[in-house]
Amino acid sequence: MQIVSIARPELEQALRAPERLREYCGKLEAGDILFFPETPISITSDALGFLLGHQQVGGAYHKNIAYRPLEDRITGFDAQNGPAAERLRGIMRRYSSDVVAFLREFLGPYQARWKVDYASYRPEEEQTRDLALRKRNDLLHTDAFPTRPTHGDRILRFFNNINPSRTRNWITTDTFDVLVNKMNEGKLDGGRVPLPSSLQPSSIKQTLAGLGFGRLAPSLKRSPYDEFMMRFHNYLKENSSFQENCPKQHWEFPPGSSWMVYTDMVSHAVLSGQFALEQTLIVSKDAMVRPEKSPYGVLSRMATAV
Ligand SMILES: [Fe+2]
């Protein structure tokens, strides 16, 4: 994987050339990070001033301040009501819709075959956070959602570093396809997560989930794909020898930049940085231009091979 830097003039050219946009989709799907040194999202200085001055996250439960576009609702912010909450909601609503509008153009080949998931504001310094191991951001992992199964659809994240002076610092290692093969061949210490024998959901689970049991036990709602992705996420975070010994690339995202990445494909960890905005899209697996590279494609081949 590599970083693909897209300066403003290149971006403007690409937006007029569908074949270039398709190439960028292919690079994303192969596990590259698309990096915009100058963010294509405009954030007013008023909005920035407000965000940088409001950094509290409510309670230990919330990792970030989240904005749910479909409900137009904020969670994780201490003040749920009043003018500050209203202002924050307005800023996040605008950020979310601006990112989605940009991606509708830039990721034109996908024809918006996605679900707009949450946006988030990440106001805490990442270097000094005290989170439970499975929630830690500073350990390398691929993303999986514990309560929102994707059934093979992709987790795409778009970020803005809004820190006025400091970079946001990531590390990455091999992409999902390489990691899962290494694990399967016993080349990652710490045992292995059993591969699913099929990616088809079991009918018993479907029936139980349909009867409402999925709300009580989220794993019942998980397809074999989601179950594997969740267990693989935990396996990577819990594997201290992998965390220590795997080859690492370091990335520094400067203030005012944006980057986007399939976080279910690219193993990532954030080491330090404060004040970032993010929007997640769940992109249909059927929209992929390189479906064979996707975790679903990789696991389908491995599942039929066991
Ligand atoms: Fe992550």
pLDDT, tens only, 94-138: 999 999 999 999 999 999 999 999 999 999 888 877 788 888 889
CA of 196 to the centre of ligand 1 (A): 22
CA of 9 to the centre of ligand 1 (A): 30
CA of 56 to the centre of ligand 1 (A): 21
Res. 60: pLDDT tops 70: no
Query: How far separated are the first and last CA of the chain, in Å rounded?
Result: 27
Say what the pLDDT of residue 58 is: 55
Q: What is the mean pLDDT of the chain?
A: 90
Across 146-155, 205-214, 261-270, least confident range: 205-214
CA of 94 to the centre of ligand 1 (A): 23
Q: Residue 3 has what DSSP assignment? A: E
pTM of the predicted structure, to 2 decimals: 0.92
CA of 67 to the centre of ligand 1 (A): 17
CA of 43 to the centre of ligand 1 (A): 24
CA of 89 to the centre of ligand 1 (A): 23
> What is d(CA 104, CA 217) in angstroms, rounded to the nearest whole number?
35
Say what the pLDDT of residue 35 is: 98
Domain spans of the chain? 3-177+252-292
Give, for 269, the enclosing helix (H) or strand (E): strand 266-272
Interval 259-270 mean pLDDT = 97
Show the tokens assigned to 257.
């930049």
The pairing of beta strand 266-272 with beta strand 276-283: unpaired
- Give Cα 67 distance to the centre of its chain: 15
Give, for 152, the enclosing helix (H) or strand (E): none
> What is d(CA 174, CA 182) in angstroms, rounded to the nearest whole number?
10
> What is d(CA 274, CA 265) in angstroms, rounded to the nearest whole number?
24
Say what the pLDDT of residue 282 is: 98
Interval 256-274 mean pLDDT = 97
CA of 256 to the centre of ligand 1 (A): 21
* Topology of the domain comprising 3-177+252-292: Jelly Rolls (2.60.120)
pLDDT per residue as tens digits for the range 135-168 = 888 999 999 998 889 999 999 999 999 999 999 9
Tokens 């091999």 belong to residue? 174
Across 16-25, 133-142, 172-181, least confident range: 133-142
> What is d(CA 132, CA 32) in angstroms, rounded to the nearest whole number?
29
CA of 263 to the centre of ligand 1 (A): 6
CA of 279 to the centre of ligand 1 (A): 13
What is the CB neighbour count within 10 angstroms for residue 114?
20
Res. 305: pLDDT tops 70: no
Res. 218: pLDDT tops 70: no
